[in-house]
Amino acid sequence: MKKKKNQGFFVLILLTFIVSNVSAQSSDWLLGNFSEKSKLETKNESTLILTNGLISRTFSISPNGATIGFDNLVTEETLIRSVRPEALVEIEGIEYDVGGLNGQPVHNYLKKSWIKDMTANPGSFKYTSYSINEIEERFQWKKRMEWLPKDMPWPPKGKTLTMIYRADDTTIKTLLGEKDSDINRKVLLEDKFAVLSPKWEIFTSGASDRSSFINEGKAGEIMAMSNTSVYAEQKLPENTRVIKCKLNNGTDISESHGLGMVVVFPDKKVRLAFSGTYGFSFSDGEQN
């Protein structure tokens, strides 16, 4: 693949909010005739809020585009607890974040005070601009009046927020670096843990019945109490030469040996693990 200076990729994310009203606490907003309109608000130079009176979604646009708030305005409940990429794209076999922020200390909940210290992933698609427009008719729809309380407009009234993300020079360098490192290599085994493959043999500590390799339905998300262990084991294919393992230590606060990977050879074990004290730890059986 030839590198082209300033070559970029564009991703559009469309979000639609339909006209509604927040007066549901005193009357049924589905039956009433309210004047609340969908709108886009700018809280400051780095924040956008898309709301229709019932719910609101808050976006950070600096240092990158990311959803940092999703609130039920009727019940005053917060519906988001973790900042993630707005989307994932795959280019020539390599996944890239679209937007999102790194550095959230704990993903069980989100504090507003953390956001100012979070940063953009250097290899991600970066937010560049946005536009707000009326909802457009994207397909023809034949109304069935017997299913409607009255003749409703089509397309529905509301606003569409379009956010544009672009791959900058850093993203392109990441792409080229990944491709160069994997050139002529054949993938022998790949598992993204969308589901738990029966090829994995799971071991859990008997010290706690909460120990699990599946947490809240997500395969590969480990639940382990202090001084217990959970791991999965699988034999590597023959002729394996390179192993890539992407780990997210999430809420783990282990001081010595946390989330990691161990490769077992006939004569030794090589271990790499996160460590709350040292950042990460490495051991080949002879030195740490």
pLDDT at res. 7: 43
CB-based contacts of 113: which residues, under 8 Å, 6+ apart? Answer: none
pLDDT at res. 126: 95
| Domain residue ranges in the chain | 10-182
| Nearest Cα to Cα of residue 130 among 97, 104, 98, 164 | 164
| Nearest Cα to Cα of residue 57 among 163, 134, 166 | 163
10-residue mean pLDDT series, the chain (288 residues): 43 48 50 74 88 91 94 90 92 85 90 93 92 89 87 86 92 74 79 90 86 87 84 90 81 73 86 70 74
pTM, full prediction: 0.61
